[in-house]
Structure 1
Amino acid sequence: MLKYAGAGTLMLFGASIAWWGAGDWSLFLKITAGIALAPLILAGVLTGAFISGDRHRANFHSETKDDREFRSRWSKRLACFSAPSVIFLLALFIEYFMTN
């Protein structure tokens, strides 16, 4: 899981290089938010977080154990990938609200 968190950190570093090159703070925040939210939404789709309980129960009983483990493994990987960006964005928002 650390290699996915490392990849997320590298993406965050790439976003900071894009910000430094363009000099646009809003571009940096948009890229970072995209890096944070897109994998989390995909992880939510894989885990079935956006469907009803009845649908989730039906999916659980109609899929194989291997498919369930595959979806669980990839949702964990996606969450680890987005964790550095989420932590960074939370730190920015906390710092912003503490100073204002």
Structure 2
Amino acid sequence: MKYLFIGFGISLIIFVVALTTNDWSLLYKITGFVGLICLGIGALISGAFISGDRLGRNLNSESETDRRKRITFTNRIVLIGAPNIAFAIILFLLLN
């Protein structure tokens, strides 16, 4: 839950920056970029971009503790990126 609030905090900081510069397109561009970067990092760490046989070999070679840490980190980074993606989509639809 803490990481979801971090994501909302990042969106809020970007909102304040867009408010001070009076450039509203900047708002959904930066929040979308932050969200996509977080989702991309989460996908890379989770192994979403590798083939099944390679993923199986990786799962056999890593310990249960390492797997749990990797999954926890992936979930945390996705929770940070999710509010930014949602905020970017909503703002893009409202502003365009």
**TM-score under structure 2 normalisation?**
0.89
Where structure 2 has 5 or more consecutive residues not aligned to the other structure, the ranges are: none
Q: Please state if 1:59 is matched with 2:66.
A: no
**SS of aligned partner of 2:48:** coil
**TM-score under structure 1 normalisation?**
0.86
Cα gap change, 1:24/1:93 in structure 2, threshold over 3 Å: closer, same or farther? closer
Across the two proteins, how many residue pairs are aligned to each other?
96
User: Aligned partner of 2:30: which letter?
Assistant: I
**What is the identity percentage for the equivalent residue pairs of Structure 1 and Structure 2?**
33
Residue of structure 2 in register with 1:6 after alignment: 5
Alignment partners' CA distance in 2, 1:52 and 1:88: 32
Residue of structure 1 in register with 2:81 after alignment: 82
Deviations, residues 60-99 of structure 1 (Å, cap 9, x unaligned)? 11111111000000011011111111222232345568xx
Deviations, residues 40-72 of structure 1 (Å, cap 9, x unaligned)? 111101110011111111101111111100000
Residue of structure 2 in register with 1:68 after alignment: 67
Alignment partners' CA distance in 2, 1:39 and 1:91: 18
Deviations, residues 3-36 of structure 1 (Å, cap 9, x unaligned)? 1010110100000011011111232222101221
Q: Which runs of 4+ in 1 moved over 2 A?
A: 89-97
Q: CA RMSD in A?
A: 1.6
